[in-house]
Chain A
Amino acid sequence: MNLILAMLIILIIAALMVVFSSRLLLAAISLAATSIMLTLLMFKLNSPIAAVFELSICAGLITVIFITTISFVKPVAQEDLIETRNKRIKKYAALPIILIIVGVVISYVIKPLVLALPAIVQEKNVANVLWNLRQVDLLGQAIILLVGVFGIVVLFKEGQKK
């Protein structure tokens, strides 16, 4: 329980690092750190397959996509960086206060609550659930995959013509 609590706190700290880092590259790497902590939590909660997906795709592929995007856009000059850093501290100063207040309030509110969730399907094999029970989801996923591929092709086709 204590280990899970420590992991959750590190997860929140990594997410806060994404918000507070003034450099985009650092923010993207902090997001990868958030993904890695989420992966460890998933392993702890008996879901190794989803954890592997999270580690390879969210911590790997998405970080690569973000770093590529950041390398395409214009880097900030050093003088601007100091100015934007001061502005950022002002802009996000309210966030830790909000988080502490909300966290304390929720943890007090949730203690006396009686939580009950129904168990729906008791199938023990992940592949069975994915391929037999969630076929509609897979269909939707395939359509979104196609839309994504077409979207990327159309977006970058314009650039080639010029």
Chain B
Amino acid sequence: MSTANVEILKLFIPFVILLLIIGFYYILATRNLVRILLGVEIITKAALLSIIVVGYVTDNMPLAQSLAIIMIIIEVFVIAVAAGIIIQIYKVTGSVDARNIRNLRG
């Protein structure tokens, strides 16, 4: 790993951690289920960025790209199923508030 690559890695790491903090804070602070999903998306973005950066600095782009592609496709399905669950929760409880689904019925 050359010195320029180390500099790039050191430039990216704080931003990746900041993105992670934004995502975690969002998930913890909000009660809206759609917003929780948006927070999950932000955390995924941080993970993707870190994969690509590490691939770049180790000069191993093909592996990093294939991992990123797999991650993006899995992410879509997670979001699609979670969105379906949120719509069903809205149909049952009439709101997308996370506090309303604490009480189990039946």
Contact = CB atoms under 8 A, between A and B. Distances in A.
Interface residues of A, number: 80
Which of the listed residues B54, B72, B78 has the most CB atoms from chain A within 10 Å of its own CB?
A: B72
B13 to A, nearest CB: 6
A68 B76 CA distance: 14
B21 A120 contact: no
A50 B29 contact: no
A4 to B, nearest CB: 7
Nearest to A35: B45
A45 B56 contact: yes
Interface string A47-71: 1011001100110011001101110
Contact of A8 (B12, B81, B85, B94): B12
Contact of B22 (A15, A106, A121): A15
Nearest to B57: A117
Given A42-B52, A117-B1, A148 B66 contact: no
Contacts of A126: 61-62, 65-66
Contact of B49 (A38, A62, A134): A38
B98 interface: no
Contacts of B90: 72-74
Given A50-B69, A130-B70, 15 more contacts: A4-B11, A11-B19, A15-B19, A15-B45, A47-B68, A66-B83, A69-B83, A99-B22, A106-B17, A115-B6, A117-B1, A117-B9, A117-B57, A121-B60, A148-B78
28 contacts: A4-B8, A11-B15, A15-B42, A31-B41, A50-B52, A50-B68, A50-B72, A57-B73, A61-B76, A66-B38, A74-B95, A92-B25, A102-B17, A110-B10, A111-B10, A115-B9, A118-B58, A119-B58, A121-B60, A122-B60, A123-B62, A126-B62, A130-B70, A134-B70, A137-B66, A137-B70, A158-B88, A159-B91
